[in-house]
Amino acid sequence: MIDEIVGWRAGLDDLLARFAHRFGRAEPRRQALSYLVGLLSPLASKNGWTLAEAAGDTMPDRMQRLLNKSAWNPDAVRDDLFAYVSEHLGDDDGVLIVDETGFLKKGIKSAGVQRQYSGTAGRTENCQLGVFLAYASPAGRTLIDRELYLPRGWCDNLARREEAGIAAGVGFATKPALGLRMLERPITAGLPARWVTADEAYGQDSKFRTWLQQRFGYVLAVPRNQRVPTTVGNSRPDVLAANTPALAWKRRSCGAGAKGPRLYDWAVASLPGTA
């Protein structure tokens, strides 16, 4: 067990060494390592206070300073991450996964917070929404990028934007548009991938699908009431599924879940090429 911990920490030190040049001083470099260790730890709650305590600090000031005031560029570190992931997990059949998650909040000061639907909570809550990009291959999986969803009401409120530290150049973008923005970055950086997958929030967006058709294979969920083209006219996915012969369906596992194997029924049908 001790050998495993030592090996894990050595691997983390090697990872941080790749990003060390992004920090001009030793103190934020050390604090970044403590931050990563805290995020990977089994803490029940992970915030400025708990991460600081896990690092041996009596106050969260150092951890907050790393995130709010230290001179380093998170986007530059993200670009370094692309190269690291490509080296360790890269595969020509890699899969890029777009999804969003909500972060429940009690106040109104956090950037982008408002009452909106959170898939994490399964209901409308006061929360922030982030759109995330993950990479998966036979060698493993990891998160590689993120974008904060900024609602239109926030974009139009200059005083609120300034108070939350939102740069003037940040404008409104839909969640599918944020997803496309993230998909372009690792591909430009040379991360190998052949497939993209996302849920119906992205599958129902014609611009999202059209962009993918020119670049990737993809599997996207769509709402059951979305009109899709067939050889005999447009139809709904639920109608097509109901009329598919029983022998065409195959049950496949998507791996183990919290409540056991995640089993889904799949059938394949050819549709006319269209966005």
Residue 175's domain comprises 73-223
Tokens at 224, concatenated: 């059951």
Among 72, 96, 117, the domain boundary falls at: 72
- Which one-letter amino acid corresponds to residue 217? G
What is d(CA 210, CA 73) in angstroms, rounded to the nearest whole number?
A: 32
Looking at the fold, whether 240 and 204 belong to one and the same domain comes out as no
- Which one-letter amino acid corresponds to residue 194? R
In DSSP notation, 46-89 reads -SHHHHHHHTT-SSSHHHHHHHHTSS--HHHHHHHHHHHHHHHH
Looking at the fold, whether 77 and 211 belong to one and the same domain comes out as yes
Looking at the fold, whether 61 and 95 belong to one and the same domain comes out as no
Among 32, 57, 72, the domain boundary falls at: 72
Tokens at 244, concatenated: 């598919």
Domain count for the chain, please give it: 3
Looking at the fold, whether 83 and 198 belong to one and the same domain comes out as yes
- Which one-letter amino acid corresponds to residue 106? K
Give the percent of the chain with pLDDT over 70.
95
User: Across the chain, what does the average pLDDT equal?
Assistant: 89
Among 39, 72, 105, the domain boundary falls at: 72
Asked if 124 contacts 116 with a C-beta cutoff of 8 angstroms, the reply is yes
pLDDT digits (tens, 9 = 90+) for 10-65: 777 788 888 899 998 989 998 998 998 898 888 888 888 999 999 899 999 999 99
What is d(CA 163, CA 157) in angstroms, rounded to the nearest whole number?
A: 10
Burial degree of 67 (CB within 10 A; 0-12, 13-18, 19+): middle
Taking residues 218-244, what's their average pLDDT?
Answer: 88
CATH number for the domain harbouring residue 118: 3.90.350.10
Taking residues 236-256, what's their average pLDDT?
Answer: 90
Question: Which carries the bigger pLDDT value, residue 257 or residue 149?
Answer: 149
Asked if 156 contacts 117 with a C-beta cutoff of 8 angstroms, the reply is no
Looking at the fold, whether 156 and 239 belong to one and the same domain comes out as no
Asked if 23 contacts 36 with a C-beta cutoff of 8 angstroms, the reply is no
Work out whether strand 114-118 and strand 195-198 pair parallel, antiparallel, or are unpaired. Answer: unpaired
Indicate the DSSP class of residue 240: H
Lowest mean per-residue pLDDT among 68-82, 146-160, 226-240? 226-240
Burial degree of 160 (CB within 10 A; 0-12, 13-18, 19+): middle
pLDDT digits (tens, 9 = 90+) for 201-228: 999 999 999 999 989 999 999 999 988 8
Looking at the fold, whether 1 and 51 belong to one and the same domain comes out as yes
- Which one-letter amino acid corresponds to residue 162? E
Looking at the fold, whether 79 and 185 belong to one and the same domain comes out as yes
Looking at the fold, whether 242 and 185 belong to one and the same domain comes out as no
Looking at the fold, whether 167 and 243 belong to one and the same domain comes out as no
Looking at the fold, whether 182 and 51 belong to one and the same domain comes out as no
Looking at the fold, whether 126 and 232 belong to one and the same domain comes out as no
Half-sphere exposure for 128 (CA within 13 Å, toward CB): 18
Looking at the fold, whether 91 and 42 belong to one and the same domain comes out as no
What is d(CA 246, CA 193) in angstroms, rounded to the nearest whole number?
A: 33
Beta strands, E only, 50-183? 95-104, 114-118, 123-137, 140-149
